[in-house]
Chain A
Amino acid sequence: MRQFGAVADRPGYRTVSRRSLQWCEFTTWPAALMPSTLPDTAARSSSLSGSAALHLQDVAIGTLTQVTAHIAAGEILCLSGTSGSGKSRLLRAIADLDPHGGEIHLGDHIQGKMPGHSWRREVMLVPAETQWWHDTVAEHLGPAMDEQALQQALTALGFAPDTLHWQVSRLSSGEKQRLALLRAISHRPGALLLDEPTANLDGDTTLRTEQWLQDTVRYHALPTLWVAHDPAQIARVADRHMHIEGHRLVQQP
């Protein structure tokens, strides 16, 4: 099991924390949600892998060709583009759900050199429409988070403490979407691919979820590719922003 050290030591963490501070300036958050109140080192024993960068080299899928990008550990790269430009397909290629060209690395891991399911356990895609198959929320969760970490995450996402025992059939689409983010983190990924993770959420919940995602990504040092279409959201969460123009990804100022 890979251990996970102090986040502040990691390259990229200091640069991205600037965003968190900037964000805190225009709204007030309960103390429990602030990054400073995240679990201490002792509680991190069951923490996530993290700390490796995600690198795409000449990835080709659908109309996209020669997509090359580097996402540092703990960095959020926002990806935008018109409908049908291939954002979701690119995420599917990175998660190795569709045949595609090019090479993808997560740290020392090479996509084609490890079994498909092992790669996807590391590079975890959270789709826009999430699916659930067990009766209760708790049955879907992975082993990576202890009770305390789960409760903190639920609070931060605006859920009641007993949410994990709710019946999945009674969840709204917005609840499913937020709980799917928690589900993904509970499986100990090494990188996150988010496909419009706040698409079904109202304004306040969107801000709350963004904040939790930013904190989590930084805390676990996960390279994160975040598909978003709202310029305001991109301004709030992105460390970098790329836009799909034609067949390429173009870095935005």
Chain B
Amino acid sequence: MTVIDLNIWQLGMAAMLVVLLAACTWYARLGLGKSLLIAAARTAIQLSLIGLVLEALFSVARLHWVALMAVIMLLLAGREVMARQRYRLSGGWAFGIGTLSMFVSSFAVTLLTLLVIIGPDPWYTPQYAIPLLGMMLGNTMTGVALGLDRLTESVWRQRALIENRLMLGQPWQEAIGDIRREAMRGGMIPTINAMAAAGIVSLPGMMTGQILAGSPPALAVKYQILIMFTICVGTGFGTMAAVLSGSRRLFDQRERLRMDRIRRMH
């Protein structure tokens, strides 16, 4: 099966459709036209650049270049986790806890998948390692960001309740237990919902892309199942690690709730 190559004019026609939509939103005075066009331009530029990077990376296929790429992806994801929180742990902890949780869960699951399950040769073959890690980080990032955001916002709103529980002699884990559980659930539910809806409500993007690129659907489905499972595991453990360490940071060694360790962002 051959893949039909896309040339610049074919992409240009799709771009014209976006311009048409922008014109319509401008006519309907939605105030979206500008941001729509900027976002479309960013998609084109960012994806072209990453395409160049991947082309270069695939051609050298050296471990240290793959590792460097992985670290850059991780740091960008950590920054994104921090940026999405309205109430942040102060002193770099928002970035640190998010990044470390994603590192532990995403990297561990990706390594496990590469070494044990897929087994390309060498194991760091960028064609497998980078897309896998990318999918993993992208989803874990959402879970970690949702979980931490839910945690810090609930603590901010329910400070009096947590402290009243402390006053009655509850250990900190018990005083914040309900909030911590809710935060973990909030981080993990989107992934669970995505697994439940896969194939019925939506055809997952990765599978669609693979089929478009000429893979037999049966093979694409197998990869998609693998990806969904690993994403779920990565997101789950990442969210739990982030919420656990985040909640620990909110209390000091005397088990006091330290509101001075949360900053409200405007």
Residue positions of A touching B, CB distance < 8 A: 95-99, 112, 115-118, 120-122, 124-127, 129-131, 133, 142, 183-184, 187
Contacts and interface: CB of A to CB of B under 8 A. Distances in A.
B254 interface: yes
Interface string B157-188: 00011011111111110000010000000000
B254 A96 contact: yes
B164 A97 contact: no
A97 B178 contact: no
B34 interface: no
Given A129-B160, A131-B160, A133-B178, A95 B167 contact: yes
Given A131-B160, A131-B161, A133-B161, A120 B257 contact: no
Contacts of B171: 115, 117
Contacts of B167: 95, 97, 120, 124-127
Contacts of B252: 99
B49 to A, nearest CB: 49
30 contacts: A96-B256, A97-B166, A97-B167, A97-B256, A97-B257, A99-B256, A112-B254, A115-B255, A117-B166, A117-B169, A120-B167, A120-B168, A120-B169, A121-B168, A121-B169, A124-B169, A125-B167, A126-B167, A127-B167, A129-B160, A130-B164, A131-B160, A131-B161, A131-B163, A131-B165, A133-B161, A142-B168, A184-B168, A187-B168, A187-B169
Nearest to B171: A117
A124 B167 CA distance: 6
Contacts of B160: 127, 129, 131
B257 A118 contact: no
B164 A131 contact: yes
B152 to A, nearest CB: 19
B180 to A, nearest CB: 14
Contacts of A120: 166-169
Interface string B180-220: 00000000000000000000000000000000000000000
A140 B169 CA distance: 12
Interface string B247-266: 00000101111000000000
B250 to A, nearest CB: 13
A183 B164 CA distance: 11
Contacts of B165: 131, 133
Contacts of A95: 167
Contact of B168 (A96, A129, A183): A183
A97 B163 contact: yes
Nearest to A99: B256
A96 B164 CA distance: 13
Interface in B218-266: 252, 254-257
Top 4 nearest A-B pairs by Cβ distance? A121-B169, A116-B255, A131-B164, A131-B161
Between B165, B169, B172, B255, the greatest number of chain A beta carbons within 10 A of the residue's beta carbon is seen for B169
Nearest to A115: B255
B161 A117 contact: no
A95 B170 CA distance: 13
A98 B255 CA distance: 10
A142 B257 CA distance: 22
Contacts of A112: 254
A117 B170 contact: yes
Nearest to A183: B168
A96 B178 CA distance: 23
